Chains A and B, each alone.
Chain A
Amino acid sequence: MTTETHIDIAELRKKQPRFNAIDSGHRACLGCGQALGARLVGEAVGPDIIVANATGCLEIFTTPWPESAWRVPWMHSLFENAGAIASGIEAAMRAQGKSTKVVAMGGDGSTFDIGFQALSGMLEREHNVLYVCYDNEAYMNTGVQRSSSTPHAAMTNTSPPGKARMGKRHLKKDIVQIIAAHHTPYAATASVAYPSDLRKKIRRAMEIEGPTFIQIHAPCPLGWGHEGHESIEVERLAVQTGLFPLVELERGELTGVMPIRQQVPVTEYLKRQQRFRHLFAKGDSRAAEELEHIQALADHNIEVYGLRGEGVDRFDTEGSDTVHRGGQRWA
């Protein structure tokens, strides 16, 4: 059975019971986690914001000249300066006595690497800005180069596996701790596989006067090497394995975690992605060692953040996205 076609879809679109800060027609890849993440953020921040967007996939796919998918004031300047641009807009708003919240957005490349000093300055100067980082773990927009967020052993175009290395040699930078070390009022991690948790954290950050930071783990089918329809499933595994802990830090202290009800072995997550394909090469002892290494990293995360759940919790990795008739789940 197909749905009726004679209804006025364009009118219906205007009546959706949620705020879409970015609308359809954007040019993101099929199953893009960042496109989903940005829409979820938009739902939670509401219309009264100004966005400062760093160069990267989000900026590119939402604004193909002369169009824009945005429905809020939005500004793009450079790859490296979203933090500075946001600081300036916020200062201007303050000078005019306006309460409009400024939201900075950038990929992991712009956040962890090239835009980091601008971000650090923004935090240090205590601008009233929410900074959202969509962490897809590489420079995706320019064709998948490694960033300091790329996880250990992942393959990118600049960290190819071969005789010398098994993918990226270094570890993923623990950005949220670095942000928290700025004595930031609120810094948290979120995942597009857990939309309710994500929006709850965004709303929390929006309420805070001062700099806040949210790192959203966002699957990239192209860069990670999985099918578009698998984005949520793969992303959920990142959380369930402990490789991407969902945590909240206030003034540097851990104040909340999403407990893992049932820890999943990292291989379940890794084997779904082409970027880790070399770790499953038969007969390569380095591959086996790397798998053990990554498992140890996950176990370490679970230990240091205390992620292991005790029994069943409505807000753990299994309970947080339980569905109910009528959609109350997403409230």
Chain B
Amino acid sequence: MTILTRANFALPGTSLNYHTGTWRVQKPQHAHASAPCHGVCPAGEDAQAYLAALEEGHPEQAWRILVSANPLPATTGRVCHHPCESACNRGQYDQPIAIHLVERWLGDEAIRHNWAYPVERPKADAPRMAVVGAGPAGLANAYHLLRLGYRVDLFDQLPEAGGTLRTALPPYRLPREVLDAEVQRLLACGIDFHPNKKLGRDLDLDQMRLDYQAVFVAPGLQQGKEWSIDGVVPSDLHSGLDMLRDWISLGVVPKVRSAAVIGGGNTAVDLARILKRAGAAEVHLITHQSLPGDGHPLDVMSAIPREIAQAEEEGVTIHANRGVRRLILRGERVVGIEMVRMKKIDRGAGRPERVAFEGTETVLHVDQIIPAIGQALDADGMHALLGRAAHFHADTWGVSPLEGVFVGGDAREKSGGSVTAAVGDGRRAALAMHRHARGEANPEKEPMAQIIGIESLNLHYYEHAPRPDEPMLPAEQRRGDEEIELGISAEAVRGEAHRCLSCGNCLACDNCWTLCPDSAVLKTREFASDGSHYVFDYDYCKGCGLCAHECPCGYIQMAEDL
């Protein structure tokens, strides 16, 4: 090339010799934050992560991400109350992502294709752990122990694994072929399941402590709570929980014409629904608590809102904010009850109090009263663990007062009383048992990145789009065990993955790469080690903050850099 000397000229791209990065007083950094869906999931699932894998077209990988926390997605996708969706940032934009339906679809796909759980069979000489109770807590615990390399003996007093999922969850909500498939696939990962073994009868906790590295005890709550009105109980009293179990295992319940079910939880609602299916003309559900979305937030029916709505569709009459005053007896037989309106209100005592309103008494004629007011722990063989308490007292790691014994699930006081809470307890306890075996201490809380709120997202870059409707079995066709909620299509699932805002995690949208006026964001798939596809070139980044401002996902944060 002829070099011209008469005029000023410069060689191409020589501005690179000058590092405008020296101007900078703040610098952009990739900052992973936890999406709210992840932050609130009792099982610890990271929905953002598996939605991202799904959107990239990798459903099996999405399922693996999901089951790295919760091994029962086909189940929980059906029965979880999905707090993830209440927390989902998209809910404040238009409608939350239908996370539970995505979860369910992934769980079903895994069963359909027999995708292998991400576990290896334990070594023949691996240390042994024991798990008592094969409900969701025990199953999750056993699975995570397996993932951590242990051999696991799982015991249950019943002939089959599944816990309350099997004994009390009606098949119209959780078809047994789904539960069976998921539990079987899980056990087949290498868990040694020992049915018909009851702690306190066939097993002794002290002996187990000697035989195993650690023991996880998750017996759930198997007894209906006792109930009376001022000491009076009907002569033919059935517990709601027992009736439900009979219906599920035997397919029968005592015939009634009209019944009042007392309680506001899942058991009460499910029982009311099966009484309808069994032919009762009138089924009333009476609860102190308010309907969802009504009344004091701390005093709402604990049953899942969509189950309450379906019960009403099926003809159950719900009397919320109502208490039973007395039983109306003819001889020994119940012929009705007297109810009164009541509500929890603030009367200045510091905490809300339940108040009955005089003059609102009404009489309801029914021939059967069935309490379903909660469950209690069957403490056989666990007295050393329990002391005089009604539940196990333990932190979220499940550490009990007995060295080497860990507890979780419904039987742990602060667990949460749900399937996903039980799964989360099982998972965390597995980590704690692993640390115990290695002589390590537990951190105070499970580490979790800061949860990102919607105010940290740049919503301009998203489009409104509706959440899919889930097809439902019409109320008049709900007679027996047919599943009511029918799930959504693969296409709708992909649509949900596409709708996800990717809160706190790079969407690989190219905004930063495209908009940086200084070309200081470089694109690379190979070298970005943090899950994004980009790196900053700090030699030239002036720290203007534009990339951080325009990142839709809140994945770029500016930090002082003086």
Binds B, one of A101-109, A157-165, A222-230, A266-274: A222-230
Q: Is the CB of A33 within 8 A of B517?
A: yes
Partner of A195, one of B8, B20, B515, B529: B515
Separation of A319 and B558 alpha carbons in the complex (Å): 28
The residue among B56, B498, B510, B528 with the most chain A CB atoms within 10 A of its own CB is: B510
Shortest beta-carbon distance from A320 to chain B in Å: 11
Given A9-B537, A329-B509: A67 and B15 within 8 A (CB)? yes
Given A24-B537, A232-B515: A12 and B18 within 8 A (CB)? no
Binds B, one of A68-76, A82-90, A111-119, A146-154: A68-76
Interface membership of A31, Cβ < 8 A: yes
Chain A contacts for B52, CB-based, 8 A: 325
Chain A contacts for B17, CB-based, 8 A: 25, 67
Closest A residue to B552 using CB positions:
A323
Partner of B30, one of A1, A69, A229, A321: A1
Chain A contacts for B523, CB-based, 8 A: 16-17
Chain A contacts for B519, CB-based, 8 A: 16, 20, 22-24, 39
Q: Looking at chain A's contact residues, is the secondary structure mostly helix, strand, loop, or mixed?
A: loop
Interface membership of A96, Cβ < 8 A: no
Q: Is the CB of A12 within 8 A of B20?
A: no
Q: Is the CB of A3 within 8 A of B528?
A: yes
Given A64-B15, A325-B508, A329-B510: A4 and B545 within 8 A (CB)? no
Q: Is the CB of B14 within 8 A of A66?
A: yes
Closest B residue to A317 using CB positions:
B460
Chain B contacts for A66, CB-based, 8 A: 8, 10, 14
Chain B contacts for A228, CB-based, 8 A: 542, 544-546
Interface membership of A169, Cβ < 8 A: no
Interface membership of B535, Cβ < 8 A: yes
Separation of A232 and B13 alpha carbons in the complex (Å): 26
Q: Is the CB of B509 within 8 A of A325?
A: yes
Partner of B16, one of A25, A231, A319, A327: A25
Q: Is the CB of A35 within 8 A of B16?
A: no
Given A31-B544, A323-B461, A329-B509: A24 and B56 within 8 A (CB)? no
Q: Is the CB of A12 within 8 A of B15?
A: no
Closest B residue to A232 using CB positions:
B550
Closest A residue to B13 using CB positions:
A23
Interface membership of B379, Cβ < 8 A: no
Separation of A97 and B461 alpha carbons in the complex (Å): 46
Flag B489-533 by CB within 8 Å of A: 1 or 0 each. Answer: 000000000100010000111110111111110111001111010
Shortest beta-carbon distance from A239 to chain B in Å: 12
Given A4-B527, A318-B463, A325-B56: A71 and B507 within 8 A (CB)? no
Interface size class of A (residues with CB under 8 A): 35 or more
Given A30-B542, A228-B545, A325-B52: A71 and B460 within 8 A (CB)? no
Partner of A12, one of B13, B460, B535, B558: B535
Closest A residue to B535 using CB positions:
A3
Q: Is the CB of A1 within 8 A of B546?
A: no
Q: Is the CB of A68 within 8 A of B30?
A: no
The residue among A7, A25, A28, A319 with the most chain B CB atoms within 10 A of its own CB is: A25
Shortest beta-carbon distance from B249 to chain A in Å: 47
Shortest beta-carbon distance from B65 to chain A in Å: 15
Shortest beta-carbon distance from A26 to chain B in Å: 5
Q: Is the CB of B13 within 8 A of A71?
A: yes
Chain B contacts for A62, CB-based, 8 A: 15
Separation of A325 and B48 alpha carbons in the complex (Å): 13
Partner of A327, one of B509, B536, B549: B509
Chain A contacts for B507, CB-based, 8 A: 323-325
Q: Looking at chain B's contact residues, is the secondary structure mostly helix, strand, loop, or mixed?
A: loop
Interface membership of A32, Cβ < 8 A: yes
Separation of A162 and B20 alpha carbons in the complex (Å): 38
Given A1-B30, A23-B519: A68 and B463 within 8 A (CB)? no
Q: Is the CB of A323 within 8 A of B511?
A: yes
Separation of A16 and B550 alpha carbons in the complex (Å): 21
Interface membership of A285, Cβ < 8 A: no
Given A4-B529, A24-B519, A232-B550: A63 and B508 within 8 A (CB)? no
Chain B contacts for A312, CB-based, 8 A: 463
Shortest beta-carbon distance from B514 to chain A in Å: 5
Separation of A323 and B509 alpha carbons in the complex (Å): 6
List residues 53-87 of chain B with CB under 8 A from any CB of chain A. Answer: 55-56
Partner of B15, one of A16, A30, A69, A322: A69
Q: Is the CB of B509 within 8 A of A324?
A: yes
List residues 1-47 of chain A with CB under 8 A from any CB of chain B. Answer: 1-4, 7, 9, 12-13, 15-17, 20, 22-28, 30-33, 35-36, 39-40
Shortest beta-carbon distance from A289 to chain B in Å: 31
Interface membership of B117, Cβ < 8 A: no
Separation of A23 and B543 alpha carbons in the complex (Å): 17
Shortest beta-carbon distance from B318 to chain A in Å: 40
Shortest beta-carbon distance from B45 to chain A in Å: 20
Flag B302-334 by CB within 8 Å of A: 1 or 0 each. Answer: 000000000000000000000000000000000
Closest A residue to B463 using CB positions:
A322
Shortest beta-carbon distance from B245 to chain A in Å: 46
Chain A contacts for B481, CB-based, 8 A: none
Q: Is the CB of B14 within 8 A of A1?
A: no
Shortest beta-carbon distance from B447 to chain A in Å: 13
Separation of A136 and B413 alpha carbons in the complex (Å): 65
Chain B contacts for A25, CB-based, 8 A: 14-20, 540
Chain B contacts for A17, CB-based, 8 A: 523
Separation of A71 and B461 alpha carbons in the complex (Å): 32
Interface membership of B159, Cβ < 8 A: no
Chain A contacts for B510, CB-based, 8 A: 323, 327, 329-330
Q: Is the CB of A24 within 8 A of B462?
A: no
Q: Is the CB of A2 within 8 A of B29?
A: yes
Interface membership of A127, Cβ < 8 A: no
Interface membership of A124, Cβ < 8 A: no
Shortest beta-carbon distance from A212 to chain B in Å: 23
Shortest beta-carbon distance from B310 to chain A in Å: 34
Separation of A4 and B522 alpha carbons in the complex (Å): 12
Q: Is the CB of A13 within 8 A of B522?
A: yes
Q: Is the CB of B544 within 8 A of A326?
A: no
Separation of A300 and B548 alpha carbons in the complex (Å): 35
Flag A191-228 by CB within 8 Å of B: 1 or 0 each. Answer: 00001000000000000000000000000000000011
Q: Is the CB of A31 within 8 A of B517?
A: yes
Interface membership of B367, Cβ < 8 A: no
Partner of A229, one of B55, B502, B527, B545: B545
Shortest beta-carbon distance from A222 to chain B in Å: 12
Q: Is the CB of A13 within 8 A of B537?
A: yes
The residue among A16, A30, A63 with the most chain B CB atoms within 10 A of its own CB is: A30
Q: Is the CB of A31 within 8 A of B545?
A: yes
Separation of A230 and B548 alpha carbons in the complex (Å): 10
Closest B residue to A221 using CB positions:
B544
Interface membership of A278, Cβ < 8 A: no
The residue among B513, B518, B558 with the most chain A CB atoms within 10 A of its own CB is: B518
Closest B residue to A43 using CB positions:
B514
Given A30-B544, A64-B18, A232-B549: A323 and B462 within 8 A (CB)? yes
Interface membership of B32, Cβ < 8 A: yes
Instruction: List A residues at the B interface (Cβ < 8 Å).
Output: 1-4, 7, 9, 12-13, 15-17, 20, 22-28, 30-33, 35-36, 39-40, 62-72, 195, 227-233, 236, 312, 318-319, 321-327, 329-330
Known: A3-B535, A31-B517, A232-B549. 11 other contacts (CB 8 A): A1-B29, A4-B529, A9-B535, A9-B539, A24-B520, A26-B20, A64-B15, A66-B14, A67-B10, A68-B12, A318-B460
User: 8 closest Cβ contacts across the A-B interface?
Assistant: A327-B510, A229-B545, A25-B15, A30-B544, A24-B540, A68-B10, A323-B509, A228-B544
Q: List 6 A-B contacts (CB under 8 A).
A: A1-B31, A9-B537, A25-B15, A232-B549, A325-B52, A330-B514
Instruction: List B residues at the A interface (Cβ < 8 Å).
Output: 8, 10-20, 23, 29-32, 52, 55-56, 460-463, 498, 502, 507-511, 513-520, 522-524, 527-530, 532, 534-537, 539-540, 542-546, 548-550, 552, 558
